[in-house]
Structure 1
Amino acid sequence: MSAAVETGYPWDGDVLVTVSGAGELAVRVPSWAEGATATVTGGRVLAEPVPGDYLRVACDDGATVRLTLPMTPRLVRADERVDAVRGCAAVMRGPIVYCVEQADLPEGVLVEQLRLDTAAPITEERTPGDLTPVRLRLSGTIQPLGTELYGPYGQAPAARTPITFTAIPYHAWANRGPGAMRVWIPTA
């Protein structure tokens, strides 16, 4: 048995497998793919797609298996024991980790000032043919920088300004010149 795979993965969650010969096919379902679905023509599902396990299919010659992985952007957090990112969230879409890069921020706004609004929707921007074919738009606030490195505890924080900003795939950062980058974004 052999198989041909057609997909736009990781930018598209649709994976089509066409089988030559009869036998059993096992397709790995990533652990992040909660809600993955499978459609089979010319065979039968032996084990439903479960995140972190395999979709198993008994296939006839010429069978097709379509695995659809959810590609909805999502926020992830680290374990509370990781001091460096406590109170922060990272953004993922499918298997891709995203980051915020200084090059995408307005003049005068630093990556370190961003605070992510975890309740706001995350939207996608398609840029076909680009190094980053899917960019994400996030919402949050700008935390004003103080004039001193340390100050009295309990002092009311300065007012924050709302902002919408872009996140790009982590693998694509530093392609537009030097600048700061951040994967783990403090939450508002």
Structure 2
Amino acid sequence: MNLFFLINKKAAVSLVIILFCAFNLNAQETKSNFWKNVRYGGGIGLSFGDGFFSGTIAPSAIYQFENDFALGLGLNATFNNQKNVYKSTILGGSLIGLFNVIPELQLSAEFEQLNVDRRYDVNLNIEDYNYWVPALFIGAGYRSGNVTFGLRYDVLYDDEKSIYTTPLAPFMRFYF
């Protein structure tokens, strides 16, 4: 097991414990207000073409500590199929922090850890892959109500392992 994975695993576990403790302390102080500050959102993706299909579901939830600061967790499940080439299943989770500098400008940091399981067609003689890939996105977006549009950049981008084609990606985020 490589050292980078162990460090990422320890960091992810530490962040989950911190989030749980923060949620738990706040819930004990004001049990009735805890769920009023939880917001739900996420994404759904669907893509298809000549012999290609991709589907993604990525639910998430954030806890709104103040009007300008929130922390949350997300899940990601993606299935890809290129007929006669490969099939892949991508599963993982993320930790996200949101900060509104002003109501319209939202900064974000998101750590994502995904397991990629890629199986190639037998006739291609390409080795199957199963590996973990981390991503750390730093982003900025324009926020209007429950919707934020913006750009994010993966500072850990690895062009050989990342499931994304580029470290810079647009995003649209909804939380209700």
| TM-score, shorter chain, exceeding 0.5 | no
Choose between structure 1 and 2: higher helix proportion. Answer: 2
TM-score (norm 1): 0.29
* Higher RCO (CA < 8 A, seq sep 6+): 1
Choose between structure 1 and 2: higher strand proportion. Answer: 2
